[in-house]
Structure 1
């Protein structure tokens, strides 16, 4: 068997005791795949481990965790020179796993790890916010953002992705629209938005498919604005159907600008960013990633 290139798994500390993952890594090592594991403890660890992966000439770095883990690694990968940048693999171990779910990545650790190491490599887009922050899946603002940032950890652990929706029902009394203006090529809108989704991927918040037609290799971002007072029916619709909801305004754009007289908070793959102006643009083909052959996010 020919010598395989090194894979470095960067594992969120919450998944360090996952016995199924330990068995999967040992099984693939037995097949001849050299795999090293690093466990994160605090912010910045992923970037430090990525630098180690580059020094070791690892062919692949695997994000083992949820959307936040993938986001942290993607933010670090984009700053590595393309000539020495490893391929990104994804091992879904978080609560919601929105990006991995919509990409069709297996939940089984061994199947996901095998895909991450030996699967097909494709170039995918990355979105950049205000020149220095990035997201791989989705930026969400408004009511949806408040729910995903406030949902208790115990509820997420017990119920998984549906916990966001249940917590949303519990917080309907806090419903408040954000007044803002959104513009882009041949697109202008202003009004009160209950929820905003800017999608490179399709879903966020534990399964809310705000951008059900988004593709991650088309050089475009999908924008969805919920401006209806019927938020409950809109959220239910987003959980159960990919058909266009009349309460959602949509556009497909290479870039867009969002401005508000009041401070807004956007979740970038679960990582909050607050401000009054957001310039969001797509970087086509920014990263190499290993995804399933029939991935619905690919054009």
Structure 2
């Protein structure tokens, strides 16, 4: 059901994207159509969550994240901090560098059609993921992929987009080392060296790499894929990021899992880092109501 003229809609925009002329035109067009659309612009870490909490307190029907995967993560995490009956519908106007979730979900990348979808598109009930006490919407990754995100300069990301991660990866082929971990879930037990570990609610991360190509947002499960071994071969990495299966790729689909490592490792939750040695990663079935395309490839069930 589309928002009505009386419904309060809060658009929370990442500060770097606030001057985008296409976004400004899209907001003006929505207001001219009668939408009660208010904009908040972030300045520092934590603003998106704070603005989301304010929107919930004021009875907003829809909260729209205007930014990349990190902005979506912060907004969704704040929504999930509220009781389910208080949670507004979530929308996304992708304004980041890689926009992995938007690409995977089929959300338009241009501000005008993306905002139209966020205001009037069909509502799907979707899962979220949680790592310890932290939320992710798209994917949690560890190992090689996480290090790429940390090591790729922000200026390079802005200039080259997802290709910047590939350049960083090529430069690091001689210095990558494996992490050791034990992964346990229902009917699943694996222990060994891993170069890449991906737990997907969505399908792609790291600038367009299909790490979990079969993941779905509405099945109550998470897709696990591990690139096992000590030696990082370009052809093997290419198979993983293209979503192919290989002997060294371990796969499972589980509602939850634990990861234990002897030394601290970093996980990347929608672009946001989390360090530790013990992680419980679990699906939160039906946690969010999200405006998504009716043809969304990340849904088992059509919406509309």
* Post-superposition offset of 1:3: 3.1
Give the whole-Å Cα distance in 2 for the aligned partners of 1:191 and 1:63.
Answer: 38
Give the whole-Å Cα distance in 2 for the aligned partners of 1:135 and 1:283.
Answer: 10
Question: 3-state DSSP class of the match of 1:266?
Answer: strand
Are the counterparts in 1 of residues 240 and 249 from structure 2 also a CA contact under 8 Å? no
Q: State the match for 2:159 in structure 1.
A: 158
**Does residue 250 of structure 1 match 2:251?**
yes
Q: State the match for 1:224 in structure 2.
A: 225
| Number of matched pairs | 297
Question: 3-state DSSP class of the match of 2:81?
Answer: coil
Q: How does 1:40-59 map to 2 (within 5 A)?
A: 40-59=42-61
Say if 1:270 and 1:2 are closer, same or farther in 2 by CA, change over 3 A. closer
- Once the two structures are superposed, residues 241-277 of structure 1 have per-residue CA deviations (whole angstroms, 9 ceiling, x without a partner) of 4443333110000000111111111001111111111
Q: How does 1:89-100 map to 2 (within 5 A)?
A: 89-100=91-102
Are the counterparts in 2 of residues 21 and 110 from structure 1 also a CA contact under 8 Å? yes
TM-score, normalising length: structure 2: 0.94
Q: What RMSD in Å do the two structures reach over aligned CA positions? A: 1.4
Give the whole-Å Cα distance in 1 for the aligned partners of 2:113 and 2:175.
Answer: 42
Q: How does 1:6-85 map to 2 (within 5 A)?
A: 6-85=8-87
* Post-superposition offset of 1:138: 0.5
Say if 1:60 and 1:233 are closer, same or farther in 2 by CA, change over 3 A. same
Q: How does 1:120-139 map to 2 (within 5 A)?
A: 120-130=122-132, 132-139=133-140
- Once the two structures are superposed, residues 93-138 of structure 1 have per-residue CA deviations (whole angstroms, 9 ceiling, x without a partner) of 00000111100000111100000011111111111111x1110110
Q: 1:110 aligns with which of 109, 112, 115?
A: 112
**Does residue 140 of structure 1 match 2:141?**
yes
* Post-superposition offset of 1:230: 4.2
Question: Which one is further off, 43-52 or 186-195?
Answer: 43-52
Question: 3-state DSSP class of the match of 1:191?
Answer: strand
What are structure 2's unaligned runs of at least 5 residues?
none
Q: State the match for 2:172 in structure 1.
A: 171
What are structure 1's unaligned runs of at least 5 residues?
none
Q: State the match for 2:210 in structure 1.
A: 209
Are the counterparts in 2 of residues 208 and 235 from structure 1 also a CA contact under 8 Å? no
* Post-superposition offset of 1:69: 0.4
TM-score, normalising length: structure 1: 0.96
Are the counterparts in 1 of residues 204 and 213 from structure 2 also a CA contact under 8 Å? yes
* Post-superposition offset of 1:225: 0.3
Give the whole-Å Cα distance in 2 for the aligned partners of 1:121 and 1:245.
Answer: 36
Give the whole-Å Cα distance in 2 for the aligned partners of 1:36 and 1:250.
Answer: 43
**Does residue 182 of structure 1 match 2:191?**
no
Q: State the match for 2:239 in structure 1.
A: 237
Question: 3-state DSSP class of the match of 1:272?
Answer: strand
